[in-house]
Structure 1
Amino acid sequence: MSTFSGLGTALSSLIAQRQALEVTGQNIANANTVGYTRQRAALSSLPASQLPSMFSTTNGPGYGTAVTDIARLNDVFLDAQVRTTTASSSYLGARAAASKLLETNIGEPAATGLATQLTDLWAAFQDVANTPNKESSRAVLLETAAAVGDRIATLYTAAGTQWTQARTQTASLVEKANTAAANIADLNKRILAVENSGSSANELKDQRDLLVTELSGLVGATTRTQENGQIDVLVGGNMMVDGSKARALAVTGAAGFADATGGADVRVVWAADTSRSAGLEGGQVAGLLSVLAPPAAGGTGGMLTEAAASYDKLATQLATQVNALHGQALTTTGAPGGDFFTFEAGRPAALGLTVAFDDPALVAVAAPGAGALDGSFADKIAQLGAAVDGPDAAWSAFVVQLGVSTGSAVSRATAAEATRASAAAQQVAQTSVDTDEETVNLLAYQRAYEGAARVMSAIDEMLDTLINRTGIVGR
């Protein structure tokens, strides 16, 4: 081995330790950067030279060290776990948020809630039963009945407004997912180009992983790594990102609440082939689609359309039961009562429920043959408030069921978010920068660099003695 080979060995160490110091400095600089994954310089020893002769041997050491890779210290299993739990948490979170908003819009129990207004309606009928001779009590009854109809219509309108907002949000999130997918495809292309040139693309991979996690929260995306280092992103089992190519999603189907209550659904499809559903299985968009779904048999449809169906059913039940008794009674003039409530043609029952007349004299509460000032039928109508199959019981059952389902949705969303947070914490523990650890590494690489420099100085002194001072002893 050449005497000068020691210089090359020391030089290789200087270069390697300097590169390792630079990697450590990069870690420290990004200690607070969101999504940054810590890196390590992988050092490998360089072997001794191979001699060409079959029987030749060398007892010399290797030729130093070199940085063979700058490793990105992530864990693919933890990354996959974070994406899966993010998709689940986002799905359940969207449903819980919609359920809580619906419960808030109903406003029960409250002094202005429908339950209170129904109670006021039965009390107004009871007042008429007690004082059938007073026109003022009949006028109050008409106003109270109109207020009940208005309240039911308001609830229906609120459900429709919430549906429209959720529909708009769905379209916005799908566009956001398309943008994220396009950016992932672009990063795939850039990462491949950088690595093919022999450089490190770790920072670009950090950006890509952040986008994939975001896409998982939106549409439940999963990934598959190609041999060349690019990743494919799958949504519903189909590729949304294939290397450097991205496929866009689109929202089709019901455009308005009337369409949804009529049975039309909102669908997320592939923009290039709108006949193919994306088949979302997780993410915030899938959660919103379940909220936007049309009503179904057994009440298993979307919560907003099911609520609208319940409002329609309540309005129909109220009108049917009151009209059945009011139609048997007589007014103060002896005329048949007819319908107390009616519906506007072409509108949902909850929106079209109105009082059939505005003249207090047309309120019929007298039993046939009992006299003009009899109020027995008003008393019978007032008793509907306590009937087990009356409107109050139906409304109470709906409110209780909504409260139970909302509590369940919130509980499931909270548990899913805790799971996601735990997975994210494990990922951060693996990938985040520990400044104490980096400080130790910094000192270690610094000392190694100083040692290599000292070796080079020692060899330089040895060579100086050999070249410049050999053979001059005694002169």
Structure 2
Amino acid sequence: MISPGFFSFFNSQRALFTAQTAMNTVSHNISNANTPGYSKQRVEMEAHFAYSAPLLNARQESGQIGQGVTITEINRSRDVFLDASIRQENSILGTNVNLRNVLQQLEGILNEPSTGGINGTIQNLFEAAQELSLNPESTAVRTEFLQQGIDLITVFQQQGQQLQDLRRNLVGEPGIAGSFGVSQLAINVQDINDKLETIAQLNREILAITTTGATPNDLFDQRDLMLDELSQLVDIDVTATASNQINVEVAGQLMVRGVTQLDSLEVVENTGVIDVAFPVPDNDPSLVRTVTGGVTINNLIQDGAVRGILTAGGNGTTTTTVRGVLGDLDTLLTEIATQVNALQATGRDINGNLSPAPIFDLPVGAGLDLFRYQINPTVLADPNLVAAAINDPAATGPPAGFAGPGDGRNALLMGQLRDGAFAGLGNTGFVEYFNGVVANLGIDTRSFENRSDAQESLTTSLDLRRQSISGVNVEEELIDMIRFQRAFEAASKVVQVFDEIVQNIINIQ
């Protein structure tokens, strides 16, 4: 028995198609060498089933005859465990980078480039008080002292407003219409929603293709890229299911289940209503919650850019938060005002009157005291009300206890406040307290800069490992192209020889 005569032709035909598919795949790899998220693809080949099959009625040959090559699948090079590690580290990086960026902005606001900063205006106020102690009868000197108080309040409020603006930009501000929708938090949350929607859409497209038996490698790459980008924004959990589908959880909340986006996120103003099941900080200006489930997830978000924004703009009182630095400035200005007013209340004005109006005035209102302090308009209108003189029981006046308009001893006590230490500031002085705030801020900034650098190095290292697995090496692809080209040429040669044989047979007379 002889074998079917066209085996060589069909074997070569399969070889041609296989080599052509392999070259197309190599060309696809080279074309996408610089495409973000692309994974190199490989054509998996195996020997076609042999002839003849071992059946009872099969032809009996000395052995099975091979029928060439066939393609089993075109797969992509990917390590799912490495992907999971990269996404976890991406989330941590997102937290650190956002906190670093905010801290650097805080440093820029509190930076003291000249005497016009907080330290400089504190010094100027108490130097003016000392000058007043030497010239208590001078209206010009009294006016200058009050002007230095105005300058001090102005600088505090200017820097406070910059901090307030920064916080509003991060998370919005209660009572300011529209501030939540344009905050960085809202922008990042919208980005999360867009990516969740894209992932659900990709799941639908992948399902439609896989049901035909094909493998949508490029769609897998697009979905993995979306997951990588999503992990930079918030911590996620990804679960693979049947038919190459995935489920995605954000902060423990199931957001995408296969082809369906179950929920999305929104940013709303914190009205003070606390979710019993998931309590949130009372003072967080913004709440991140699920739209359908209505679950507040501020405290459930562990990492990612959103976590960094929530921390920096949230209710914390350390120098890693805007609110913490604002609170420090508020504490400092309040202590200065309290100490100056205390001396003002015990002294005598230029006419010997006891307990004149306070120098620092705090109108009743909402919000931080920092933004409501002012120099008392009554004192500002009449600088003679500044109590430069002390209440001296030994002085005969008139009035009794008043040593005369030339007494500047109370103003001297005001000037000496500069070098005092106060319980309200942790037993430190005004300048020392502010320098401590700046120093702590610098320490926190350097810490998060170092953390960010270390985390960036780690994620870069992991990405390089992934590139070694999934990335396209153009030199390797060119070698494969030559290899498959040679296979194609060899198969073509067999077809050519077979064609010549057939032509010779046909031409036999």
Q: Shorter chain as normaliser: what TM range?
A: over 0.9
Partner of 1:8 in structure 2?
10
Q: 2:369 aligns with which of 330, 349, 353?
A: 349
Where does residue 188 of structure 2 map in the other structure? Answer: 173
For 1:284, which of 301, 305, 323 is the aligned residue?
A: 305
How many Å separate the matches in 2 of 1:301 and 1:126?
A: 33
Cα-to-partner distance string for 1:332-383 (whole Å, 9 max, x where unaligned): 1001243221201114210111122202111111123233211111111111
Q: Which consecutive unaligned segments of at least 5 residues does structure 1 have?
A: none
1:126-141 map, 5 Å: 126-141=130-145
Report whether the alignment pairs 1:231 with 2:254.
Answer: no
Q: Is the 8 A contact 1:108 1:399 kept in 2?
A: no
Task: Tell me the number of residue pairs that the alignment of Structure 1 and Structure 2 aligns.
Answer: 464
- Whether 2:153 is the aligned partner of 1:153: answer no
RMSD, aligned CA:
2.2
Alignment match, 1:319: 337
TM-score (norm 2): 0.86
The residue number in structure 1 matching 2:236 is 221
Residue type matched to 1:17 in 2? A
* Stretch of structure 1 that moved more, 4-13 or 453-462: 453-462
Partner-residue secondary structure (3-state), 1:133? coil
Q: Is this contact kept in 1: 2:7–2:67, CA < 8 A?
A: yes
Alignment of 1:414 onto 2:417: no
The answer (yes or no) to whether the contact 1:91–1:287 under 8 Å persists in 2 is yes
Residue in 1 aligned with 2:126? 122
Secondary structure of the 2:243 match is coil
Residue 466 (structure 2) aligns with: 427
1:451 maps to amino acid? A
**Bigger CA drift: 357-366 or 450-459?**
450-459
DSSP 3-state at the match of 1:433: coil
Q: What residue is the counterpart of 2:328 in the other structure?
A: 310
Helix, strand or coil at the partner of 2:349 = coil
Is 1:92 paired with 2:96?
Answer: yes
Aligned residue among 362, 379, 387 for 1:364 = 387
Which residue matches 2:292?
272
Q: 1:322 touches 1:381 (CA, 8 Å); kept in 2? A: yes
Q: Is the 8 A contact 2:319 2:437 kept in 1?
A: no
Cα drift, residue 226 of structure 1: 1.4
1:382 equivalenced with 2:415 (yes/no)? yes
Shift in CA distance, 276/331, structure 1 to aligned 2, threshold 3 Å? closer
* Aligned-partner residue type, residue 239 of structure 2: R
Other-structure match for 2:490: 451
Q: Secondary structure at the match of 1:273?
A: coil
What residue ranges of structure 2 are gaps of 5+ in the alignment? 172-182, 273-279, 396-402, 423-428
The answer to whether structure 1 residue 250 and structure 2 residue 266 are counterparts is: yes
* CA gap 1:64/1:243 in 2 versus in 1, 3 angstroms: same
The secondary structure found in structure 2 opposite 1:250 is strand
- Deviation, structure 1 residue 55: 9.0
Q: Which amino acid aligns with 1:280?
A: I
Give the % identical residues.
27
Measured in 1, the distance between the counterparts of 2:127 and 2:282 equals 36
Choose the corresponding residue for 1:102, options 96, 101, 106: 106
Distance 1:415 1:18 in 2: 46
C-alpha spacing 1:262/1:132, structure 2 compared with 1 (3 Å):
farther
In structure 1, how many angstroms separate the alpha carbons of the residues matched to 2:310 and 2:161? 20
TM-score by length of 1: 0.92
Partner of 2:65 in structure 1? 61
1:433 is displaced (CA, Å) by 1.5
Residues 254 and 172 of structure 1: is their aligned pair in 2 closer, same or farther, counting only changes over 3 Å?
Answer: same
Secondary structure class of the residue paired with 2:239: strand
| Secondary structure class of the residue paired with 1:282 | coil
Shift of 1:387: 1.5
TM-superposed CA distance for 1:254, in Å, is 3.2
Range with bigger deviation, 437-446 or 380-389: 380-389
Does structure 1 retain, via aligned residues, the 8 Å contact 2:319–2:325? no
Q: Are 1:31 and 2:33 an aligned pair? A: yes
